[in-house]
Chains A and B, each alone.
Chain A
């Protein structure tokens, strides 16, 4: 596997090393974030005319799912505005790498040092998503809540506890960042081992110790590296590399596979299926059920959603893994096989989200132009596009694109299933072991094809 260290390029290294460019992008994002909150609270309640809804759920979501995550993994987290104010308070500085700021600096409780809270946070947001996506005020409240949580976490706990353990977006961005063709790693582990100071973790005058509680010297996966680039600044040995690598390299790393992450993969895949059915399907009753929060039908929808993503889909997957073990007479414990094979669902999961997003975004992208000109929906016309009418884009090619993406995801997942099975080659024949799991991936893909292009 070839890796190419992008920091060899002078320009890239300078841009990444300096705080200015990253700060500027964060500040810009924070500006948009604040405007989204303000327009959500004070602007028009008509979602498709409100900057908050259009900027967050169409523009930001499109950039995140179609560009940032597939290409840069956690690139978004590098400039995310949500943790920024808390971060600045915690450090007592905006641009300088100061070390004395506010906050209690507590350690995060050990029992929740995993992805379960993020799994729960995502599921809760998903239950209300049809309302969040369509009501400006609800979007504003959710953004504010995330901001408060992030600031609170920064003041009580050390480093970026919110990002690492709470953020509902951070969980799946981390999961899918394993597929990205970009990674931050150390150049030479021996240099790290010989270094007593470990400034990248403890911090020094040049920057903070890893805000994500990650020791770069041991990094093997992108999942919890927020690409904040502090270690690039603190490492006195210039031992940090930002590599261009082959996509999905982390999936083939057997060490460190965990049940919470396996469930994240299943929850995300399940949610993509539900979203495709509810939001892009032709079933009006399903939409009203998801929208009328608190009603009896919503309760049924909510329970159905939770049952599907936490029980039915994982249960079906468990069953296929079990069947494969039986067919192959494999001695690998069921739980272990379940966890390991779940990582093969990550490409299909991202493909499902990209396919969902393609349809949703291109159909609604033209709402962006009027909203730029009239963010509050108050009848302004700042750049002359307030009157632009709605036109869905690329309607003739989107279904083919979605198909291609889903098939690509299936193929990638299939290759990964096989690679994971080959990791324990001595213990079991690969073909019968993978057959049921592949069938699972195939059925999911056919279901998604039916929902999105059928």
Chain B
């Protein structure tokens, strides 16, 4: 592990046993969410028990991944040095119709005209040897 912040690699997700199906689906350009079969609500991020009722009866359901921008910020200064190449980076909270919010980036937005509520669709960001990230672009 490097100890020099200047050469720290760009952080990518390292799945756990509970989250692996989410990332595996993204690699196939599918979006899956955990669904709680006890309280009939969707869950994100994936975890070991439902945060609404603490049941462990969680199953996976495929969804479109499309939604709306709930809120966002434009990082004019990188939030950490590893993201310097993405500035200005539009970091967003995307709300899915299934009732969950996820952290994403809006890759093609004009930072000066983007507004909360904008409709967005999934972008699958594949990088060789890395976990696929779910980003978004304007619908």
Whether chain B is bound by chain A comes out as no
